[in-house]
Amino acid sequence: HNGRDKGLFALHTAVHKMTGLSAARFALHERGLIREGYWADLVLFNPQTVRDIADFKDPQRAAQGIDSVWVNGRLSYADGKPQGERQGRFLPRSGSLREGFADAKAPT
């Protein structure tokens, strides 16, 4: 919500910082972008209402404005609750973290 409410950056820039830029930074191959052959990790959200409402008393409270989440191409969260088995897995990075800084670029 910082990008939206405070006007820090455009929505597409905020999304890229949390997805493609992070995947490039940590050398998570075939992640962070929507491309053929990449793993389908997707979040369907309402840009007008999305808001992190977790706090110290309830750090696992689900964000507002999130409709659905797909992990590795499988529906993982919908209707305010988890859907079936968790599809996530440990993603080891490869190479040096310095490489990720050079490769990570913001969208234009």
What is the reported pLDDT for 64? Answer: 94
What is the reported pLDDT for 25? Answer: 86
- Of the candidates 25, 7, 37, 42, the residue with the CA atom closest to the CA atom of residue 96: 25
> What are the CA-CA distances from residue 52 to residues 9, 49, 63, 104 (Å)?
17, 10, 5, 25
Query: Comparing 12-16, 74-78, 90-94, which segment has the lowest mean pLDDT?
Result: 90-94
Give the tens place of pLDDT for each residue, 27-85: 888 999 999 999 999 999 999 999 999 999 999 999 999 999 999 999 999 998 999 88
Average pLDDT over residues 85-108: 68
pLDDT at 106 over 70: no
Q: Residue ranges of the domains in the chain? A: 2-88+97-103
Give the pTM: 0.76
74 against 4, higher pLDDT: 74
